[in-house]
Amino acid sequence: MKIALVSDTHGVCRKELFDHIKNCDYLIHTGDFDNERTYNRFLNCGIPMYAVRGNCDHGEWASYLHEFVSVPINGKLFYLVHNKADLPFDLTDADFIIFGHTHVFTHYDRYGKVFINPGSAGADRGDGKGIAILELTDNGYDVERILL
């Protein structure tokens, strides 16, 4: 099971990004699409998408996105949020916390939870533009960072 992790596209829809995620089973976008055109490009890319609203997502199209979403995928519970500071206090049942906002790739395990920020796919802050592919395996998981 492969899950594309994308955040902070800020209006940028690179063909290269979609080439990297085309064989994924799910797409998670943690916000800052920046506009309806970009949101619709991801929504209609042919991969089931779970998404949350970022601080740069405004307008009627963005009003349909929640700030926080809890999603079960393949027997694991994913918490999705744009800014990690906005996470609910109680994370007891989460397996994976996927977030964005900082534009910097982050991956660590803490308190029995896996935290992943795929970085920014559209606006570099010195870390390079990129995404991540999360693969759920029989033995756990693997995370691959992909620079764009």
**By residue range, what is the domain housing residue 28?**
2-147
For residue 45, pLDDT over 80 is answered with yes
96: domain CATH number is 3.60.21.10
Express each pLDDT in 4-32 by its tens digit: 999 999 999 889 999 999 999 999 999 99
Q: How far is CA 137 from CA 54, 64, 125, 143, 145, in A?
A: 29, 32, 31, 11, 17
- The bridge status of strand 113-117 relative to strand 96-98 is parallel
Express each pLDDT in 72-102 by its tens digit: 999 999 999 999 988 877 777 899 999 999 9
Count of domains observed in the chain: 1
Q: What is the pTM of this model?
A: 0.96
For 123, counting Cβ atoms within 10 Å of its Cβ (0-12 exposed, 13-18 middle, 19+ buried), the class is middle
What mean pLDDT, rounded, does the chain reach?
A: 95
